[in-house]
Chain A
Amino acid sequence: MTGARRVPGAGLLAGAPAVSFSFDGRRHTGVAGESLATALLANGERTIARSFKYHRPRGVMGVGNEDPAGLVTLARPSGDEPNSRATMVELYDGLAARGQNAWPSVRWDMTAVTDLLSPLFPAGFYYKTFMGPAAAWPLYEKVIRRIAGLGAVPATPDTELCTSTHAHGDLLIAGGGAAGLQAALVAARAGARVLLADENPWFGLGLLGEDARIDGEPAQTWAKAALEELSGLENVTLLPRTTVAGRYEQGFVILCEKLRDGPALAGDPSPRWRLWKLRVGSTIIATGAIERPMVFANNDRPGVMTVGAVGAYLNRYGLLVGEQVVIAASDDDAHRVASQLARAGAEVTVADTRDSGSGVAAAAGVEVLWRSRVADTAGRGGVAGVQIEGPSGRRWISATIAASRGGWSPALHLYAQTGGKAVWDDARAMFVPGAPEIGAVTVGPCNGTMDLAAALAEATAASSAVCGELGYSVTSAVPTVDGADTASGIPGFATPANRKRSFVDVQNDVTIADLDLAVREGYRSIEHVKRYTTLGMGTDQGKLGNINGIRAIAEARGEPMSSVGTTRFRPPYVPLPIGAVAAHMSPEHHHPMRRTAIHDLHAQAGCVWLKAGAWLRPQFYRRGTETDLEAVNREVLAVRNNVGLVDVSTLGKIELAGPDVVTFLNRIYTNGWSTLKPGMGRYGLMLREDGVVFDDGVTMRLGESHYVMSTTSGGAGAVREWMTRLLETRWRDLNVAVVPVTEQWFAAALAGPMARDVLARVAEGFDVSNEAFPFMGARVGKIAGIPARVFRISFSGEMSYEINVPSDRAVELWKALLEAGKPEAMAPYGVESMGVLRLEKGHFVVGREADGRTTPYDLGLGRMVSSKKWFIGKEALDFPEMKNPQRRHVVGIVPVDRKQRLPGSAHLIHADQIDAVGASQGWIVSSAWSPTFDHDIALALLDGGQARHGERMLAYAPIGGGKADVEIVSPHFYDPDGGRQIG
């Protein structure tokens, strides 16, 4: 046993109720609100996790977010939360946690056999061992993923509520210790809008156990008064349990607030996490410093801790972590912690590397060994003995806790995230912030200022300066400090003899020997060594161990720390729950879903919905017990033989007006527009500047200088932005107004040989006869009494009229058209049927056959490319490669045996090359059963396809293995002359 025991009346939670919880199924009792780590230590749970690679036992080392390996899975009614930091979870009644990365449990981990094999797992082991053959990688991956890793990703969605909020302020103060509180007081009294965030449930924790007096009061009394004053001010927002996770440019900061750890109470809608997206004038970074442990042999056993953590468990939580404690340090503050432990009843030994120092521990009955350090630990399942190395040699003493402090590492992450450079300071043995960053200032220990009085002075000055810049007048003075510890000694770094068992990163099992090896193998840059050895790549990002790692690399390279430097600091500072990042953006709210103006009518008609980009569209309308295919076949044949009605209002609609529209159209479309008369329209092909097809659609000329352009559904936004970009940046001399009107107009198309008969019954104000209203004509009039624009255009290949009415008249129009089509028993058809109709006709679709690499020539649309004028994409189309006859062309595909179905996702290959690498000469892009031809048809992209009509190939789907002999044909299966749409 460790001898951990609670000290009655001690800590911030004295008097809090007892609660029950469980770890790996074992029932325990703890104190409500203490950290899970505290409760586990108090109940003698030493091994709470296993390390990433060797599965070595891991216990609690730290007290906050710096704890490297104390990760557990919380089993909650809302779903498992893996990789929860035991030091950061607040205990609640009924909490159930379990260990992870172990089988069957962290206490008895069978996979720990990897530890015995650790000589076989050096740095870069995975890279070196699992090189090949490539085909075996899936097998390796399966095994590695099973034995190396953290918690399991839950299989079910987390049902916990999360939220996010935007906020503004003058000043954010990150960290609510002494410096943070003082900075907040200065700014708050000056009237600035202040936000003060600390990741702990309490502010001023750094002053716990502090003997110094501030402004004549005990430090804790000063902190309490400061907090009380701040709580009463309206211009102050206090954010406990809130981690400042990321600092970005122009005052943008991300904070993650934990609102509760316990389950939601019945009727309480409070979320678990809230992500703050904050914009502030300035940020004062008062995040303190992280204690740096010493490195010694077997320094990864449960029971190895930092001095500050041991002190914090006593002063914050009233827990003595062990009866026999060794403290290894080189500063006076550690002696104060030792004296507190001794007074609480522990048997304490201090090993101090210095020649002499504070007498406060000795006075409390602690054995103090000068010029001594910890060399090794021993024990099964945790520390049982500590070896101390001193002037008189080495000796083992009995202890369950080996606490060390090798120095401090300023938590300058928020400073460095925007590019601030951490600079090595030899005198203080720490990386400190270098040149100031815009919009942020570091104060206190985070700035390398460990002395309390100096930290408070720095905070006062920084806050006053920021307030002054923002126009607030400051009146606060620097608090006085008496009785603080003298400045820390500088320990330097020990060079452990047993490098193979001297860990610098206990989560990822990186030892000094691993770093030595990486340097020997030629890795020099800290960034490369990090990735090769995984130093600091765990969820803790090396908060505790990185500096020791950098030191080891410097030593191996024989260079100073400053030459090695740090790895790049990137947000977030701590791992963020993914739920907090997603917040309310659940799948259905991640992107707005667009519905057409007659959505409800489609639903009433029994349509099957299809998500098409941002739109929800009817795929087809099922009748009775029809299968999907039967419904689509019926709809297709109705259009071919009779008439159908389709909602096409998702197509982009953009109005163009002004004297220069024709000039503009001539520049953005490949074909010519100068001869288009009012009342007529033209199909246009739009290219990117690199000659690739960008969008297509029909543009109608409604009046002398008034046009309406139609774009693809998906391209509506991009086409508009492209056009306004050209007009606003390049062709500012052109007078063209561009107005997107997709939402303002509803559009439905009547299609089929009987379309004109139906139209004639509802058209008012214009003649619908073929002579008066020819193909590609545009008419403005009324349909069933509704003002309408009617365009005679066709996508199906049949005679077709697209009727546009204001969106608020859409329901009226749709009902009137169905009524008018009753004699023909006209029914609506969906996007799936429209897709079959266009495939039969051989029309390409942007995003399918035009896949971002296709030119007009590849689509067989060379006739659309004018040689008489300049247009966007012309220079690129003239590149020699663009007319290479071996480019991939669109072709038609039919199965040789017409009864055979075409495989999905098939490549086109020669039948004898089925196993050859690189045999693919193209692939099927769109395929469907054609009820018109009674067999499958497809469009494909094929190398040099235009010259290969009549050739036979094998359509082969490597995934799934489907294959069919196919014939290459013209892509125009149905009515290639186009007579049906004109008649």
Chain B
Amino acid sequence: MLLISCPYCGERPEEEFAFGGDASVVPPNGAGEGAPVGTETFADYLYLRDNPKGRHREHWIHRYGCQRWIEVERDTVTHEIHAVRVAGEGK
């Protein structure tokens, strides 16, 4: 079970959080209101995810805590957590 350092609350066990998927994925049409995109491009965005071995930026929500979204940089092999930051403030 991970130990995640919530930027709002401090170190909390994983069971207080819920996983929210790859944080590096952004909609192909910008913030969502941009120009129309092709079916292929949007289907890739919807359904295709990388499964990297190593560092992975991912969204988590502190569901049973502050209920805020955060970004966790986790090693998918060792589960080492390299960084935790406020969601949306990442690279």
User: A interface vs B, CB < 8 Å?
Assistant: 248-252, 277, 279, 418-419, 438, 667, 689-690, 720-721, 724-725, 728-733, 870, 872, 875-876, 878-880
Of the candidates A249, A279, A725, A731, the one whose C-beta lies within 8 Å of that of B61 is A725
List chain B residues, Cβ under 8 A from A251: 3
| Contact mask for chain B residues 1-41; partner A; CB cutoff 8 A; 1 contact, 0 none | 11100000000010000101001001101011100110100
User: B interface vs A, CB < 8 Å?
Assistant: 1-3, 13, 18, 20, 23, 26-27, 29, 31-33, 36-37, 39, 42-43, 46, 59, 61, 63, 67-69, 77-81, 86-88
A726 nearest CB neighbor, chain B only: B32
> 17 extra interchain contacts, Cβ-Cβ under 8 A, other than A250-B3, A252-B13, A438-B80?
A250-B79, A251-B3, A277-B1, A279-B13, A438-B78, A667-B33, A720-B67, A721-B67, A724-B61, A725-B61, A725-B69, A728-B86, A729-B23, A729-B88, A731-B31, A878-B39, A880-B39
Does B39 lie within 8 Å of A870, measured CB to CB? no
Does B61 lie within 8 Å of A721, measured CB to CB? yes
The 3 A-B pairs with the shortest beta carbon distances in the complex, nearest first, are A249-B79, A250-B3, A875-B42
Of the candidates A252, A720, A728, A731, the one whose C-beta lies within 8 Å of that of B3 is A252
List chain A residues, Cβ under 8 A from B80: 249, 438
List chain B residues, Cβ under 8 A from A720: 67
Assembled-state Cα–Cα distance A251/B3 (Å): 9
List chain B residues, Cβ under 8 A from A728: 68-69, 86-88
Known: A250-B79, A724-B69, A725-B59. A730 touches B31 (CB 8 A): yes
List chain B residues, Cβ under 8 A from A729: 23, 59, 69, 87-88
Does B69 lie within 8 Å of A731, measured CB to CB? no
Does B2 lie within 8 Å of A870, measured CB to CB? no
Assembled-state Cα–Cα distance A876/B37 (Å): 11
Does A870 lie within 8 Å of B1, measured CB to CB? no
A253 nearest CB neighbor, chain B only: B1
Shortest beta-carbon distance from B73 to chain A in Å: 14
Assembled-state Cα–Cα distance A279/B69 (Å): 24
List chain B residues, Cβ under 8 A from A277: 1
Assembled-state Cα–Cα distance A690/B80 (Å): 32
Does B2 lie within 8 Å of A250, measured CB to CB? yes
- What are 18 A-B interface contacts by the 8 Å CB criterion? A248-B1, A249-B1, A249-B80, A250-B81, A252-B1, A419-B77, A419-B78, A438-B80, A667-B32, A667-B33, A689-B46, A724-B69, A725-B61, A729-B88, A730-B32, A875-B37, A875-B42, A880-B39
Shortest beta-carbon distance from A617 to chain B in Å: 24
B20 nearest CB neighbor, chain A only: A725
Assembled-state Cα–Cα distance A667/B30 (Å): 13
Assembled-state Cα–Cα distance A878/B77 (Å): 38
List chain B residues, Cβ under 8 A from A418: 78-79
Does A876 lie within 8 Å of B46, measured CB to CB? yes
Does B1 lie within 8 Å of A724, measured CB to CB? no
Assembled-state Cα–Cα distance A729/B86 (Å): 9
B38 nearest CB neighbor, chain A only: A875
List chain B residues, Cβ under 8 A from A690: 46
Does B2 lie within 8 Å of A249, measured CB to CB? yes
List chain B residues, Cβ under 8 A from A721: 18, 61, 63, 67
Assembled-state Cα–Cα distance A870/B37 (Å): 12
Does A870 lie within 8 Å of B87, measured CB to CB? no
Of the candidates A724, A731, A875, A878, the one whose C-beta lies within 8 Å of that of B29 is A875
B37 nearest CB neighbor, chain A only: A875
Assembled-state Cα–Cα distance A277/B68 (Å): 26
A730 nearest CB neighbor, chain B only: B31
List chain B residues, Cβ under 8 A from A248: 1, 79
A731 nearest CB neighbor, chain B only: B31
List chain B residues, Cβ under 8 A from A689: 27, 46
List chain A residues, Cβ under 8 A from B79: 248-250, 418
Does A724 lie within 8 Å of B88, measured CB to CB? no
A249 nearest CB neighbor, chain B only: B79
Shortest beta-carbon distance from A167 to chain B in Å: 13
Known: A667-B33, A729-B69. A876 touches B42 (CB 8 A): yes
List chain A residues, Cβ under 8 A from B86: 728
Does B87 lie within 8 Å of A872, measured CB to CB? no
Known: A721-B63, A729-B88. A249 touches B78 (CB 8 A): yes
Shortest beta-carbon distance from A381 to chain B in Å: 48
A880 nearest CB neighbor, chain B only: B39
Q: Which of B26, B31, B59, B80 has the most CB of A within 10 A?
A: B31
Assembled-state Cα–Cα distance A876/B88 (Å): 24
Assembled-state Cα–Cα distance A81/B3 (Å): 35
List chain B residues, Cβ under 8 A from A870: 32-33
List chain B residues, Cβ under 8 A from A667: 32-33
Of the candidates A438, A724, A731, the one whose C-beta lies within 8 Å of that of B67 is A724
Q: Which of B32, B39, B77, B88 has the most CB of A within 10 A?
A: B32
Assembled-state Cα–Cα distance A876/B26 (Å): 16
B78 nearest CB neighbor, chain A only: A438
List chain A residues, Cβ under 8 A from B81: 250
Shortest beta-carbon distance from A17 to chain B in Å: 43
Assembled-state Cα–Cα distance A870/B42 (Å): 14
Assembled-state Cα–Cα distance A729/B58 (Å): 11
Assembled-state Cα–Cα distance A732/B89 (Å): 10
Assembled-state Cα–Cα distance A365/B79 (Å): 57
Shortest beta-carbon distance from A2 to chain B in Å: 47
Assembled-state Cα–Cα distance A252/B2 (Å): 8
B23 nearest CB neighbor, chain A only: A729
Of the candidates A724, A732, A879, the one whose C-beta lies within 8 Å of that of B68 is A724
A666 nearest CB neighbor, chain B only: B33
A733 nearest CB neighbor, chain B only: B31
List chain B residues, Cβ under 8 A from A249: 1-2, 78-80
Assembled-state Cα–Cα distance A880/B87 (Å): 34
